Structures are given as structure tokens and as C-alpha cells.
Structure 1
Amino acid sequence: MDSKLKTLLYFLVIIIIQSYISHSKSIIKGLPGYPGDLPFKFETGYIGVGIKEEVQLFYYFFESTRNPTQDPLIFYIPGGPGGSALVTIFHENIGPFNITWDIGVDNTNLKLNPNAWNQFLIGHPKFVKSPLYIAGISYIGIVVPKVTLELYEGNERGDRPTLNIQGYILISPLTHKFHDFNSRIEYAHRMALISDHIYKSAIAHCQGNYVNLDSADFFCAHSLKSYEECTSHISFSNILEPFCDENDPAQDCDIDVKKTLTKWANSAVVQQTLNIRKGTIEKWESRNNTIHYRLGKNDTFCYSYDIFSSFLYHKKLSYKKCQALIISGDHDMTFPYVGVEQWISSLDLPVEVPWKPFFVDGQVGGYEMKYARSEYSLTFATVKGAGHAVPQYKPKESIVLTQKWLSSQTYSSDDCTE
């Protein structure tokens, strides 16, 4: 197993069973921009990993606002890799706060998020027997199935503590570093971004490879050039949004919420409140581009992209007592639902509940179907009108869908293995 994955797993276990004795944790009673005391337990801290604890990992812990001792634990990993957890907390509508501003980005206010996921939580020792799910978004779809499988196999080996691992939740996941990118051309055709002629020409001449242009013949290359021309000014994160070219210095692609968050997170008062160690960061940024993945990117000095596909881990998990929830936005072209459908189909699972709509406030929130075999189940859902960061675009639909799925599960704290 990759050393970085071991670090992540070790971090998970330590967070659950030892963070209560950490000398670097802080209980946060209030935050700049929020009036009064916080109405839930909020903790930050550092966990040292490695023999000499040479790697220090910063974490956020939000306790459930409902019933912390009975609610599931959600261990949520931001995407990227290299995406900041603050973006997940404040911008992607996973965390308990919304960040707002009155006049300009300098006047920042925090409000409680009615669709927050801390109606779930990240674990502590008293929650060690609580149902545990590993969750993540985007690139972390490569990592989460491996982590989840390791926890199941750890229980089977008799590793201690025994964790009540129940499954995993993925949002807009990258699963296969060829197939998911390759599925973009079919998605573009389904969404009428390219014509039948362009699509059929690509099918006829590209031998199913729409990614590796170096190996394309003349006719394939011509088809793909037409595809790229048609999609070059489309926002892949959400095809309905205005396009902004991040490589053009004349364009300002940062939306106000990110500007506000950057201003807030770089405040000395905020960093002191969150117990950020002085000197550990020069400037907070929403994404660490040193490790952020792009198609074909080679390993960096600090990160190895050594899992090409997580499909095998999904396959192995399909023989465990495991529940999976996979969510895609139907307007996401980063990792389109088309590719997700393809790898789910390749699991060869019987359909338990066929494709049908789910409703939020009397309106179609999206569509879902359920596969099941023995003690394994997988629910695949698309959220109508959502882009890549599904909870950001459709927070209410996302929380309704996830809560409904969690409430349908049955748990036994004494049965933590396969």
C-alpha cells in the first residue's frame, strides 16, 4: 500500500480513537463573523503521523447537531487533490456555515447552513462504534474505495480498534483516469454540445479513444478538433455557467464567495481562532496547485498519482457488507455521469430499484436507482441542474438525498466486519 495512503488511514484511526488526548486540539466557541457562541461542538487540531510525527495533518471536527452518539460518522476528504477543507465547509455547502458579505468582500458574516452535513459528523473516541462512512468528492473518488476496502480488511485481520465501517459516499467521482475523461465526448453529444455528425465521425474513426490525440489518425483528429472547438468555451464544472478562462490574465475568474473566503481565511484573527500554528502557512489558498491533478500530470515531489483506477476496489467492496452512495450532477462535464454509469454497469450487479425520480418540495430533485447483491448495495443518483460540486449547486437536494439514503440503512454496532 502506498505510504501516503497509509498516512491517510493512520490519520483516520487516530482521529477516531486518540484525538481526545491530543495536546494541540482546540475547542472553538465562536468564529469571527458569527454572532455569539456556536450552537454545536467545533474542534480543530493537528495529528502527527509517522514514527517521529514528521507529518502534521490539520483537521476540522463538527459534531452532529442531532444525536451525536447515534448518528453516522462521515470522514470527508476534499477533492483535488489539494483542495482546501475550508472550500468544502463554506463554499460547497458541506459544512455548517454559509459565508456572506454585506458591502464588498471585506464585510464578512457567517450564518448557519440549513443544509449542513454535520447533521452527520467526523468521529471521536465515544463514537468508535458509530456507523462509519468514508466520503469524498472529485479526484478523491480514486482514493476513497481503497481506503474503505482497507478498513474492511483491517477488521477482518483483527486490527484494533474494530471500526463499524458501513460503506462510502462519493460525489462526482473520478474512478478511471482514461474512461472518465473519455466519457466527456458522449456526454457532450447527449447534452447537444456537439452534433450527431461530429459524434458519429469520432465513433467511426477514433477506435473508442477520445483522449490520446497523439495516436489519432487524420479523420479522428478532425472529429476531435471539432469537439474541442464546440466545447472550448464551456464551463466543465457546470455547462450552464458562464465560461471564464483562468489562463487569461485579463479575466477575473474568482467569484465573490471565494474572494470573501480568501480574505476571511487569511485574517490573523481567524487563523488564531482556528489554532493555526504560526509560520505553517504563508498564504491560505483554496487549492494547492502543486499536487492538484490534471490529465496526464506526472508525480510531484510530494504526491504520487499511483492509482490509475479505483474500479477493482469497487468490485471487491461489492462482495462485502457494504453500502455505497454515488452522486453526480447532471450538468457536470468534469467527470460526467456517463462514465459513472459505465463503471457501475461493469460491476454486473442486479437492479433492485429501477431508475426513478426523487422529489424535493414537490419537484423532481433528480433521479436514482439501486443495485444490490447479497449484503452489498449501491445507489446511484443524479441531481437535476447540479454541476461538479453537487452540494454547492443544489444543497437542499443533496442533503435530502443523502439523509434519505442514510435513514434507509440498518446498523448494528456489534457487527463491524464482513
Structure 2
Amino acid sequence: MAGMTKISILCITCCLLMTMTTEAAPQGSLVTQLPGFNGTFPSNHYSGYVSIGGKHLFYYLVVSEGNPAEDPVVLWLNGGPGCSSFDGFVYEHGPFNFEQKSKGAMPTLHLNPYSWSKVSNILYLDSPAGVGFSYSEDPSQYVTGDLQTASDTHAFLLSWFQQYPEFLSNPFYISGESYAGVYVPTLSFQVATGIQNGTKPLLNLKGYMVGNGVTDRKFDGNALVPFAHGMALISDQIYEGVIEACGINYSNSTSPKCDEKLQLVGQAIAGLNIYDVLEPCYHDPGTKSGNTTSTKNSNLPSSFQQLGKSSEKPLGVRKRMFGRAWPFQAPVEDGFVPLWPQLAAQSNSRDVPCFDDEVATKWLNDPAVREAIHAKPASVSGPWELCTDRIRYYHDAGSMIPYHQNLTAKGYKALIFSGDHDMCVPYTGSQAWTRSLGYKIVDQWRSWQSNDQVAGYLQAYENNLTFLTVKGAGHTVPEYKPQEALDFYSRWLAGKPI
């Protein structure tokens, strides 16, 4: 019921957008070259700013390498909150692979054979204002939350499609991962309501997709223990002890006995890479013996563990390190959401926890790169950071389940996908909440294939809802399994069986 109240608030903001006026086509938005790349772009690239109420939102469009006039337009949003969608551009499904040949050097760019621009026009957006290259001259506008972000992004889309009217008739999809599990359904609902109300320009929304997405406090909070048990990370005895002391809904327990049992879970999984339990864990060299179980004194919950950054890593390769014993991303509580750099600072870390993003940071802060992509200089928009602490963000939209129910009931197709080795937002939670909708199963649990190999599993429901796992993938699926990601993405967009 609370979630539906938030939806009603979004309905009201939709009506306010109906008075927008048509803007002129963007001038000088074509990207003609990029430092580090010496070849020919397989398709056109455009980038620039759309201003919404004093907020300047930065976008980068990669036109489809297939049939731009008919291929879908897909908006991509990274999560955080507070993280730039250039994370997806540089490390996941963008048009280039980035190679750093020596430490500190500018990267060399090579064409990515698994870019999502192979089959779609893909639009990367830094949102909300204050994230990535997006900015405002008024610092008070950096205080925001789920509902305001959805409203601003809808306004951005209406203005953007006015500037690029050639894409208005293309099928339009909204996509993202991690905290975009909140961004995507709230924005999709806003767009759907605008369509229903006749908001111009009329967007051709067909559906949305969410990867390893934050969704619901109870389902996300109860996901880790079954995941850890299924992955043989905790013993039967630990698992049974948690169930006995906490019951099956332990995510908000106030029982000391339950807390004691959950502490055993935390101890067992300490030291693992929470973003992919198959990957190595890199620790701060200053952390004695790689110990990640000590907790710094702070105002954070005791479950937050030491964060760090490794100084020894293969050049040009991003490494994700252990962030904390309990999942760093989920569950997310209502109200103020601590941002990743803020959490890192509380734990005396030097950087955004669990990420080494030297390549992206080096490239995107180079003045020549910023000029080439029409981003404002650092003196205006600030330095580019993977995840910022410049904004103050509030989770004020409640559970996403009512949004999913509303959208799928209206006929919008939805793909909920999960890297099955992510411990940050485990697949167990996504599988549980999709099942909880009570929809009839139309495609029973089965494997799906990529390159003649089993690539994961899926279960499809009525109302065009599909839950899909990607075998061996972590939190950012296209980064870990690029070929498999392009395969399911292409098939789903084309309406073909996965």
C-alpha cells in the first residue's frame, strides 16, 4: 500500500511535464573522434547536455550498428545511487574495450565485439544531477531521491526525444543494474503514466530490464543466507541455526540470538569478493594478513567491514575487492542512503569501495576526452568520479514490487536478470520476488544457451515477465559474461525465445 502511495505521487509529477515546449535539434552533438581510438566508428556517436530546471544532465548516445531507424532505443542507468553510467560504457557493454598498456598511461581503445550497440541504439545517462558529468550550479539541487530522480529523468527523456525526433517511433526500453533496480521501475512507471495522459512527445515504451537490482527490503534482506548456503559458503549447521533463531524473515530481526547466528554467517563469508564469489579478493596492503573482519568505529551498522584498494593488479583490468561481510548494496532502507564514497570514508578507505577504476578515471578526466565528448571542463561540472558523494540521496519510493505489478499488468515486457554468483544483490532475492507476484508460469525453469553451451536458467511468467540467471556472472553481468549478455539482450529485444 505504501508503494502505491509513492506511485500516486509520481502520477502527479507526470501531469506537470505536459506543458513542455519543443526544443531545437542539438547543435554540435556529433562525436567525431575519441583520444585513444584510431579507427573508424562503426556508427555515429552523439553526446551533450539536456537542461532540466537548472540541472544539466549529460548523455552519450551510441547509434546502432545494425538498423538505427528501426532498432530499439535503450536507456542505460548505472546504480549506486550516485554512480556514473559510464561504468557501463567503459567496463560493460559500450562500443570499446579499454587497454592500459602501462600504469598511469592513457588507455588505448579497441572495438568491443559484444557492444550492445550491435543491436540497439543505446543511450547512457549520468543521473541524477551531481553524478558523473551531470551537474547543477545550485548545490541545493544535489539533494534528491527516488521520486525526484524519476521525475527529472522523465523530463530529460521528453526533451531528448524532442531533440532527436528521428528515434520517436523506435521501440523504447529502460534498463539498468544494481540500484537502478529502483531507477528503472520508477522511471518506467512515470513514462507509462505520461503516455497514458498524452504527454508529448509520445514515447514508444515497450518494456524494461533490470540486472541484479535492488527491489524490496524484505526480499533483498532475506536473499543472502540461502545464497550462501546454496553456494557452500556456510555449513548446514550455520544455515539451520539462522532459520531456527530468526525464522525465514531474518532481515529485520531484533533478536540477540538471531544476531549471534547471523554473525556466524558474516564470519564465514568474510574475505570473499561480494560482487562475484568466484573472483579473487584484493585487500588494502595496510590491512594485516588481508583481515577484513575488523570493524572501524563509526556511525555505520556493525556489519560494515573494512574497505580497501589494492596497489597490485594487472594493468588495464578492473578488480573488485571485498566490501563488507553483509551485502554492500542490499537491502536498502527507507530514508537517507549512504553513498559508496561516504561508506568508504567511514572505514578509512581511500577510494570507492571494491572498485579500482583507474582506466575510466584517467580517460574521462583527460581534458581532450572531455572536449571530444562535449562534457564541461572540471572547473564547471567537477572531476568525473565513478561514484560521487556530491549528492544527498533518499530512498523514498518504497518497495518496487507494486511498480512491477503495475507495469507488467499494463502489458510492458520485463526482463529481470541476475549474475548467479553475485553476493551483493543475490539471485535468490530476485527469484523470490518475481515468484511472489503470483503470475502463472508459461515457461518452466529451464536452461538457456549461448555459443552452444548452457549460459544460465530462466523462468517466464504471464504478463511478459521473465526471470533469468547468467551462469558464473557477478554483479555487473555484461562485464563478467559479455557474449552471453549480448545474446540474451539481443533475443529479448527482438522478441525471440531466449
- TM-score interval w.r.t. the shorter chain? 0.7 to 0.9
* 8 Å CA contact retained: 1:87, 1:286: yes
**Residue 69 of structure 1 aligns with which residue?**
69
* 8 Å CA contact retained: 1:18, 1:125: no
Counterparts of residues 148-163 of structure 1 (less than 5 Å): 148-163=188-203
**Residue 378 of structure 1 aligns with which residue?**
465
Counterpart Cα distance in 1 of 2:19 and 2:281: 42
Deviation at 1:245, TM superposition (A): 4.3
Deviation at 1:253, TM superposition (A): 8.2
**Residue 112 of structure 1 aligns with which residue?**
111
Counterparts of residues 74-223 of structure 1 (less than 5 Å): 74-92=74-92, 94-118=93-117, 119-121=119-121, 122=123, 124-212=164-252, 215-217=254-256, 219-223=257-261
The question of 1:399 aligning with 2:489 is answered no
The question of 1:354 aligning with 2:441 is answered no
Counterpart Cα distance in 1 of 2:478 and 2:14: 26
Counterpart Cα distance in 2 of 1:225 and 1:20: 58
C-alpha deviations, 1:293-331, integer Å up to 9, x for none?
Answer: xxxxxxx3xx22212311100111121121111110010
**Residue 369 of structure 1 aligns with which residue?**
459
* 8 Å CA contact retained: 1:323, 1:378: yes
**Residue 389 of structure 2 aligns with which residue?**
289
The question of 1:315 aligning with 2:405 is answered yes
* 8 Å CA contact retained: 1:143, 1:310: no
* 8 Å CA contact retained: 1:137, 1:172: yes
* 8 Å CA contact retained: 2:14, 2:194: no
Counterpart Cα distance in 2 of 1:386 and 1:404: 19
The question of 1:234 aligning with 2:272 is answered yes
Counterpart Cα distance in 2 of 1:140 and 1:233: 26
Deviation at 1:290, TM superposition (A): 4.5
Task: Say which SS state the counterpart of residue 428 (structure 2) adopts.
Answer: helix
* 8 Å CA contact retained: 1:356, 1:367: yes
Deviation at 1:42, TM superposition (A): 0.6
Deviation at 1:249, TM superposition (A): 5.5
Counterpart Cα distance in 2 of 1:141 and 1:309: 10
Counterpart Cα distance in 1 of 2:313 and 2:390: 19
Counterpart Cα distance in 2 of 1:405 and 1:35: 33
Q: 2:362 aligns with which of 263, 270, 283?
A: 263
CA RMSD of aligned residues (A): 2.9
Deviation at 1:175, TM superposition (A): 0.5
Counterpart Cα distance in 1 of 2:167 and 2:215: 30
Structure 1 residues 249 and 88: alpha-carbon distance in aligned structure 2, compared to 1, 3 A threshold: closer
Counterpart Cα distance in 2 of 1:66 and 1:202: 52
C-alpha deviations, 1:86-134, integer Å up to 9, x for none?
Answer: 2110112x21111112333405210111111122113631110111111
Deviation at 1:185, TM superposition (A): 1.0
Deviation at 1:355, TM superposition (A): 1.3
Structure 1 residues 210 and 280: alpha-carbon distance in aligned structure 2, compared to 1, 3 A threshold: farther
Task: Say which SS state the counterpart of residue 388 (structure 2) adopts.
Answer: coil
Structure 1 residues 362 and 13: alpha-carbon distance in aligned structure 2, compared to 1, 3 A threshold: farther
Counterpart Cα distance in 2 of 1:14 and 1:48: 16
Deviation at 1:200, TM superposition (A): 0.9
Counterpart Cα distance in 1 of 2:19 and 2:71: 20
Counterpart Cα distance in 1 of 2:458 and 2:226: 20
Which 4+ runs in 1 deviate beyond 6 A? 12-15
* 8 Å CA contact retained: 1:245, 1:253: no
Q: TM-score, normalised by structure 1?
A: 0.85
Counterpart Cα distance in 2 of 1:88 and 1:81: 14
Counterpart Cα distance in 2 of 1:91 and 1:9: 34
**Residue 416 of structure 2 aligns with which residue?**
326
**Residue 29 of structure 2 aligns with which residue?**
26
Counterpart Cα distance in 2 of 1:137 and 1:250: 23
C-alpha deviations, 1:333-386, integer Å up to 9, x for none?
Answer: 1111100011111111111111111111111111112111xxx21111100100
Counterpart Cα distance in 2 of 1:116 and 1:166: 21
Task: Say which SS state the counterpart of residue 248 (structure 2) adopts.
Answer: coil
**Residue 44 of structure 1 aligns with which residue?**
47
* 8 Å CA contact retained: 2:408, 2:414: no
Deviation at 1:9, TM superposition (A): 8.0
**Residue 337 of structure 1 aligns with which residue?**
427
Q: 1:225 aligns with which of 241, 250, 263?
A: 263
* 8 Å CA contact retained: 2:275, 2:423: yes
One-letter identity of the residue aligned with 2:86: L
- Structure 1 gaps of 5+ residues are 292-299, 411-418
**Identical amino acids, percent of aligned pairs:** 34
Counterpart Cα distance in 1 of 2:73 and 2:239: 44
* 8 Å CA contact retained: 2:282, 2:309: no
Deviation at 1:177, TM superposition (A): 2.7
* 8 Å CA contact retained: 1:142, 1:176: no
